[in-house]
Structure 1
Amino acid sequence: MKRILAGLALASAATLVTATPAQAAPADPVKALKKQYAAGKGVRISESAVTKVSGTKTDGTVTTNGTLAFGKSGIVASDLRSGGKGASLLSAAPPRSITVGKYTYAQGGLFSQQLPDGKKWVRYPNTGIPRTGNQPLDIFRPKVLKELVSEAKSVKGGSYRGAITFGRLAKLYGEKVDKRLGKVAISYVLDVNSKGLVSRLRSQYAFDFGLLGKTTSTVNTRYTGWGSKVTVKAPPADQVIDYSELGEDSGVPQEIPDSSLDALNPVE
């Protein structure tokens, strides 16, 4: 009996030594994103968008930094600062924009020209989801993030690489795009951390519709501070003026460039 017990003890010990630890399944980026959606929480973004136009031999860079605030179903507010260098197709964004509720407030550059005394912000009706920069791939929409993850051609160490057409992206957004743009592919590299949260997204696309020549855009966005406390407030009411209150001769832009794909449609 002692020999039998000793043999069982040795066999058990050998099993413990040779057994391979179970590998934890990689975190699901979509589930990780949805867990972040809570009032008072948010994330910080830091972005660089580079546009090159061969026909004009010019290029430019637009940087965007700021904070996005979450609600139960996604982004509910944003506070962004943008800056440009050189000629760029994306430089029409205001240097500072705040979106809260039904309105977006703009300040700086053309948006601060010849405003009445005491007014520092121009208010516009909010057209939808708050601006999140110039990244065409909106990872804050679960359907889009799921597509980027599930359709990636390569997955290595939390890095997803693949491509998606503007046509497919438009369907996910519920938008329409010109057939020519719809065929253009956006290549991407999506990096997630150990918790499955997106840490970096790099996208690139190019098209040539015979207007200015070949246009190439590369957008590199970093996401930090997931789950941090975020509060975005509208500017003081006495510093705000509605665009509709400005005169016809005002040099202030009639609208704020949005993030819709429609803005990229070819111009005849």
Structure 2
Amino acid sequence: MSLAGRIALVTGAGTGIGQGVALMLAERGAKVALGYHSSDEGAKETRRRIEERGGEAMTVRADVARKAEIDAMAEEVARRFGGVDILVNNAALQLNFDFDHDDDAYDRQMNVNLKGYWQCMQAVIPYMKAKGFGRIVNISSVHGKRPTDFDTVYAMTKGGIKMLTRESAIELAKYGITVNAIEPGAIRVGRQGTKETKPFVPPELAERAQAEKRDIRWKFPMGRVGLPSDVASLVCYIASEETEFMTGAAIRLDGGSMLL
């Protein structure tokens, strides 16, 4: 499944899922633009690891909540690499606040997680149309399928990504551009990138689970949570020419945890 000659832009590529996706795209032969906002050191580390393995990468800073910065990012990638063939919309903000978000927290999550995806797509589509080829992969979440008990607004953004994917898939199909979404479950991504983020599992629940000595299979049938490489493998498949006939799909990638 070679991606040789393809040009990929991955947002949020300095940490977690984005870093794993960028590394694997480069392993498959793509030139990779590493979009980042606050994770400067992480983006540099991703680039270093790609170049050590003989790949080609560039870093480009942009706040995906700001259209001007998104447009400048896309233009810089196109100028340096000659266009954009693959967009992986991954940069996201997860605050894990209760229902009572204030207006600022609400707007920031919506502007990054949903509006940011839409505007990143707008920025790269002209380059894809020019080539008659494009692969857009929106990283969503299983929380776009089922309710959560820890962040209503985050789940709202992920539900919106599903319809953004479906509607744009219809509109862009005639240009040879596919749009698909991946809905990961729990992914081991290490330390979170924002100091505002609360623990993914509330301490009281973690303590209760520990006290009850529940096996991890109680929640994860395959015996583990996901890894960035699990998401990256699926991204590479969707980004390849082997998926020409797949568009508008939302693929759940959670090791079966949603079945329980």
TM class by smaller structure: under 0.3
Q: TM-score, normalised by structure 2?
A: 0.27
Q: TM-score, normalised by structure 1?
A: 0.27
Larger Rg: 1
Answer 1 or 2: which has greater strand percent: 1
